[in-house]
Amino acid sequence: MIKGVRARVSGLKDRRSDLGWLLAYAVLPMAFLVAFVALWWMDASVLRALRLRVFDTYQTFAPREYDPEAPVRIIDIDNESLTRLGQWPWPRTLLADLVRRLGAAGAAAVAFDAVFAEPDRMSPRRIAEVLPGDAPPALREKLKGLPDNDVILARAFGKVPVVAGYSLVGEANGVRPKVKAGFLFSTKQSGAKKLSVGELQRTGGSVEAKDPKDYLPALYHGAVNNLPVLENAATGAGAFSIVPDADGINRRVPLLYRLDGEAYPSLASEALRVATGSRGFKVMATGGSGKLDMGGWGGIARVVIGPLAIPTDGEGSIVLFDTGFRSERFIPAWKIFAKGFDASVLAEKILFIGTSASGLKDLRATPLDPIAPGVEIHAQVCEQALLQKFLYRPDWADRAEFFSLLAACFALIALMPRLGAAWGALLAAAAMGLAFGGSWYSYTAKGFLFDPVTPGIVVLVVYILTSLINFLRTESEKRQVRGAFSRYLSPALVEQLAQDPKRLRLGGETRELTFMFSDIRGFTTISEQFDAAGLTQFINRYLTPMTDLVLRNKGTIDKYMGDCIMAFWNAPLEDPEHALNACRAALQMRRDLAELNLEWEADAKAEGRKFIPIRSGIGVNTGPACVGNMGSDQRFDYSVLGDDVNLASRLEGQSKNYGLDLVIGPKTKEYVKDFAALELDLIRVKGKTVPVHIYTLAGDAETAKTPEFQALAPKHAALIAAYRAQKWDETERLIAECRTAPFHLEKFYEMYLGRIAAYRAEPPAVDWDGTFTATSK
């Protein structure tokens, strides 16, 4: 019959079903993969936001280490400087004095993170214009004859390598800052063509179909520029405009800008050019024709400033490799004017003049600092260039990520039907771990920014889809198996077979298990109080919480035999603590039965009937046994067989003879050495020839530490030793000392007193070793 049923099950799978599932495995994950890769290629905002957050996390755990030797400092117009030197804007004469002092100290470049778009309101001519009408004419003429403050600042600019900052704006206002450096644009296809400033204006750069300047974002159409007198006097000029990402965090800093088709340097890149004495910038681009090149679409690859090569993204921006706020980077502006200031700390350094004062509103969020001074971002860009510490995506990163993603997804799609959910999850986890681990390694070792988010999401969703399809297929097969076997096997076994048809076999495996038998004492007398319905309700009320305790402690219910529970541990699932869990369950059953008795007593009182306390006996033993599906060809169940199973049943029966509710075997006791165990006897149970040591549990490991048990244990052990040595007087004395212990052992000690009396009347044999031979189960 079984062979016939198996044949019927094998016939349930036809080619049409297999083809349908095969198409589902291939089409659904692949459709998702194509759609997601398209979103990735378009750089969807959600994916980009997640990717940037991961890169922020990398910087949080491994930020760029600040190098105090880096020749970059910030002359900080902080709150203290505003208090000491006056509110902003300062007179241009004060700024001229500051510039001269920085120049005298040997600054390599002085860059202003500020724009002077309007004449100084403190210039003598401006003051003369606002004098009251009755002011002396001589005073008015004298003020007009004094040098203009902006001219004074321009003269200071002319004597010091100054980089004037300006702001770019989106509105077209006709303002065009002066470009003070030449550009050399180069692509991998065309080589390079050197362009002067004038040629740049006329030709727009390279002669290639794809001008490298076209890769620069077209965000700006106007500018807020410095006064012409200051612009002309400055050695360099650069834009300090930075556009944060959508979440308000500044992660990328442009080295170049595009203003209506023309290229302009940033404040940081111009400061580097002036400091290195370079005459211009070399802009290296890939894909000048606009075709896919080295795995990435054409774009700017690096900007070379003198001896410094700076890798960029395709839009000519550098990724900020943040150190977070470092006070060593800042020198308060007021200290430059202070007597005794050591100006040597400024020599040969790029000095940025900017502010950290909150009232001047130039605070920006960076990956490591939510309120970083804007000038610090420009300073960090210079540090990165000078120290050659960069974060960037190589131009082959997109292709590497794409093919790695395809390989992982194809592997999942191909292997999931064979591997199953667990191994498939392991494979998916390995692929995701490889994506994140490889990304982290590339970041820390090379400064590469490989995207772990998109591959991780795609692998996860492909795994979920293939797992779902696999689950639906498995459930379909289970329904077929249930339909085929439901008329032949028990429901429980049908479900086991549906989970794993290979288990359809008699016999089993041998392994070490722990067994429990629990029975209600005097059940016949108790049952006389109830009718059939009441007795059923009573039994269920008892078995339900006891069963729950077995299951909660990882046990398996083998069967119910009236009021008896048979359970075992360490099968079908392995449980290294099977003996401990069985003993925990037994002790909890003792506790919960006491609570049930209180409820039953109240019920009996309310119903006007006599209450009979419910007492149980529990036997627990550990040993090898055969476990598996056992029975006939028609019906079989998952159960256990073995000599140690029978011993557990005998121990439950003997618990009543010893006046106790729990008896455990010797192997079980070895596994619960920390519990409050007491030896009971050396007994030869009925049907056995070899005696075994048996024990009871007064409690768990916490009970074993109590002063009461610590006092009882050695006396009890001495009592058992004296009994086996036939020292009856000493045994009786020790019983008198032990029976007052609060562990409900009175009946046990009375039983021993009865034995001693019997042995006094009829002494045991000369070769007696203390073994008690039981005559009943």
DSSP 8-state secondary structure symbol assigned to residue 215: G
| Structure token digits, residue 287 | 């894909």
> b/e per residue, 257-290, with b = 16+ CB within 10 A?
bbbeebbbbbbbbbbbbbbbebebbbbbbbbbee
Q: Which stretches in the chain have pLDDT values below 70?
A: 1-44, 126-131, 133-136, 138-145, 187-210, 287-297, 417, 420, 477, 480-507, 629, 631-638
The whole-angstrom separation of Cα 691 and Cα 773 is 8
Taking CB atoms within 8 Å and a gap of at least 24, the contacts of 547-553 are 549/585, 549/588, 549/589, 549/592, 550/516, 550/585, 552/585, 553/581, 553/582, 553/584, 553/585, 553/588
Residue 716 has phi, psi (to 5 degrees) of -65, -40
Where are any strands of DSSP class E within 113-233? 162-169, 182-187, 191-195, 222-224
Q: At which residue do the structure tokens 């349908």 appear?
A: 20
Q: Are 11 and 481 in contact (CB under 8 A)?
A: no
Q: Rounded to two decimals, what is the model's pTM?
A: 0.58
- Amino acid at residue number 274: V
Q: Alpha helix (H) ranges present in 42-105?
A: 45-61, 79-85, 92-104
Identify the pLDDT of residue 504.
Answer: 47
Picking from 99, 255, 112, the residue whose alpha carbon sits closest to that of residue 183 is 255
* Spatial CA neighbour of 562 closest among 582, 538, 581, 580: 538
β-pairing, 72-76 vs 330-332, is parallel
Residues with Cβ < 8 Å from 254, sequence gap 6 or more? 216, 239, 241, 242, 266, 315, 316, 317, 318
Q: Per-residue DSSP letters for 47-60?
A: HHHHHHHHHHHHHH
What pLDDT does residue 361 have?
80
Q: For residues 644 and 663, what is the distance between their CA atoms, to the nearest angstrom?
A: 14
| pLDDT score of 38 | 65
User: Rounded CA gap, 679 and 716, in Å?
Assistant: 8
> How many other CB atoms are found less than 10 A from the CB of residue 594?
11
Are 428 and 460 spatial neighbours (Cβ–Cβ below 8 Å)? yes
pLDDT, residue 715, reads 96
> What pLDDT is attached to residue 116?
95
Tokens of 727: 């020292």
Name the helix (H) or strand (E) containing 697: strand 692-699
CA distance 238 to 241: 9
Q: What was the pLDDT predicted at 194? A: 39
In whole angstroms, what is the distance from residue 278 CA to residue 250 CA?
28
H or E element that contains 618 = strand 616-631
Sort 745 into a burial class: Cβ within 10 Å, 0-12 / 13-18 / 19+: buried
How confident is the model at residue 33, as a pLDDT?
63
Chain-centroid distance, C-alpha 53: 14
Give the angle subtended at the CA of 93 by the CAs of 89 and 97, to the nearest 5°: 110
DSSP secondary structure code for residue 90 in this structure: P
**How far is it, in rounded angstroms, from Cα 373 to Cα 350?**
17
